[in-house]
Structure 1
Amino acid sequence: MNAIRQIETDDEIKIFSDPYRMKIINAYIKARKPLTVKGVADIMGEVPAKVHYHVKKLLSIDILVLDHTEVINGITAKYYKLTTEQFKVSYQNVNNHEALFDSTTNMILSVVDEFKEDIMKGAKYLKQVHERKDESRNGYIDKEEIYLNEKEYFAFAEEMRALIERYQIEGDQKAVYNIFTGWFKKYW
C-alpha cells in the first residue's frame, strides 16, 4: 500500500481537502486495519450517519474501497480501507484554481490546528502533574530553512517518509509522540 495516490481533478481535490474527511483518513491510518463506518465514528467520537456521508464521498474518488463484509447479528457490516496512505495533490489539471487553493489551505490549517491542540493538551497535562524534571523528553519544536534542488527535494521527502515509518511501530515501553512535518518552497 505504499503507492502515492495522485489527487488531480477539481472534484477530487474538493472532496479530499475537506478537513473532516482528513480526520476520517487519519482514523484509518491510525487504525492500520479495515474499519466500518461505526468503527470510524467511535474513534472520532462522532455520529455514524455524519461519518457515513463523508465515507461515501471518499469512496466516490477511490480514497477508500470496500475491503470485505461480515454478517454480524443478521446485519451486513461493510469494512473499508484506504487505497494508500500517501496522497499528492496536483493542480495541473484543475479549472478553478482559486476555490481549490482555498479549500486546500483550509485543510492544511486544520492539520496545523489539530497539532496545536495536541501541544496545548500536553502542556496542560504537564502543568497539572508538575512534570518538569526532564522536559527534553516531552517534546521538541523547531523551524528551519533547508536548501534543495529538485533531486534532493524528492530524496528528502522519501527519507522523511522512511524515518517516520520506522518509528510507527507500537510496542511495550514506548510513549506516543505526535510529529508534525511539512515543507514548502519559499517564494518570498
Structure 2
Amino acid sequence: MKDILVLRELEQIKAISHPYRVDVFECFEGDQPQSAKQIADKLGEPHAKVNYHIKSLVKVGILELVDERVKSGIIEKYYLPAAKMLVIDKNFMQNLDDDVMQSLNQAILSIFEKISEDFYRAAENPKEYKKFILHHNEIYMTPEEMKELIEKVDNYIAELIRDKKGDKGDKSLHPYNLALIGTPKVTPKKRG
C-alpha cells in the first residue's frame, strides 16, 4: 500500500465524493485486508450495499482486491486501499468545468461531514479525546496568499508523515483528523 494516491481522473473524484464511500474507505485500518462482509458489519449496513460501493472504488483504483478465500464453499474477496491517503492532483484543479466543480464540491462536503462527525464524537467525550482547535475570523488575504498558506501546511504535514512512517509501535502517537478550511466570507444579500 502506498502512502499517498494522487487522484488525477474525474471518475476517481466522483467515486470518492459519495459520503458513504468515504465511510467505506475509512473502515480500513492499517495493512489488514477486509472483506465486504467485515465492512458491512462495522457499518451496520447490508452486505449488498457495501459490496456495490466497494466495486465502485475498485473500478477507479482507490481500493484493490488483494486476496480471495474460500469459506464454506463461498469465495470471499478481501480488499485494501491503494494508499493510506487520497489527494486531488493540483493540476486537475485548473480545469474546472461544471461537472468537475460539482464533483469537487460533493467530495469536499463528504470530507467536511466526516470531520464534523468525528469532531462531535470527540466533543461528547472531552476527557477521553483531546482536541486542538484554532479559529481565526475575517483574515484578509489574497487568493494567492491563501494558496501559499495551504501549500505550506500541506508540506509540513507531508514531513510529519515521512518522519513518523516507521513509528507504528509508538504508543504516544494518536490519529488525528486535520482540516484547514479557508472559506471566503460571503455576506447574505439584502432582500429588497
TM above 0.5, one fold?
A: yes
| Count of residues paired in the alignment | 172
Q: CA deviation at 1:26?
A: 0.7
Q: Which residue of 1 aligns with 2:41?
A: 42
Q: CA deviation at 1:69?
A: 0.7
Q: Which residue of 2 aligns with 1:77?
A: 76
Question: Residues 100, 151 of structure 1: CA spacing in aligned structure 2 closer, same or farther, 3 A cutoff?
Answer: closer
Question: Residues 151, 98 of structure 1: CA spacing in aligned structure 2 closer, same or farther, 3 A cutoff?
Answer: closer
Identity across aligned pairs (percent)? 21
Q: Give the whole-Å Cα distance in 1 for the aligned partners of 2:30 and 2:124.
A: 22
Q: Give the whole-Å Cα distance in 1 for the aligned partners of 2:105 and 2:129.
A: 34
Question: Residues 158, 140 of structure 1: CA spacing in aligned structure 2 closer, same or farther, 3 A cutoff?
Answer: same
1:23 matched to 2:26: no
- SS of 1:69 mapped into structure 2: strand
Q: CA deviation at 1:154?
A: 4.8
- SS of 2:77 mapped into structure 1: strand
Q: Which residue of 2 aligns with 1:51?
A: 50
Q: CA deviation at 1:80?
A: 1.1
Q: CA deviation at 1:165?
A: 5.1
Per mean C-alpha deviation after superposition, the further-off stretch among 176-185 and 72-81 is 176-185
CA contact (8 A) 1:10 1:94 kept: no
Alignment of structure 1 residues 102-181 onto 2, 5 Å: 102-123=105-126, 138-143=129-134, 152-162=152-162, 169=168, 179-181=176-178
CA contact (8 A) 1:7 1:89 kept: yes
CA contact (8 A) 2:122 2:129 kept: no
CA contact (8 A) 1:15 1:58 kept: yes
Query: What's the TM-score, normalizing by structure 2?
Result: 0.72
CA contact (8 A) 1:2 1:84 kept: yes
Query: 1:35 corresponds to which letter in structure 2?
Result: Q
Unpaired stretches in structure 1, ≥5 consecutive residues: 127-136
Can you list the C-alpha shifts for 1:110-141, whole angstroms capped at 9, x where unaligned? 12222123224414xx6xxxxxxxxxx74132
Q: Which residue of 1 aligns with 2:142?
A: none
Question: Residues 45, 150 of structure 1: CA spacing in aligned structure 2 closer, same or farther, 3 A cutoff?
Answer: closer
CA contact (8 A) 2:24 2:39 kept: yes
Q: Which residue of 1 aligns with 2:62?
A: 63
Q: CA deviation at 1:39?
A: 1.0
Q: Give the whole-Å Cα distance in 2 for the aligned partners of 1:150 and 1:40.
A: 33
What RMSD over aligned residues (CA atoms) do the two structures have, in Å? Answer: 3.2
Query: What's the TM-score, normalizing by structure 1?
Result: 0.74
- SS of 1:181 mapped into structure 2: coil
Q: Give the whole-Å Cα distance in 2 for the aligned partners of 1:47 and 1:104.
A: 24
Q: Which residue of 2 aligns with 1:132?
A: none
Question: Residues 118, 102 of structure 1: CA spacing in aligned structure 2 closer, same or farther, 3 A cutoff?
Answer: same
Q: 2:104 aligns with which of 101, 105, 113?
A: 101
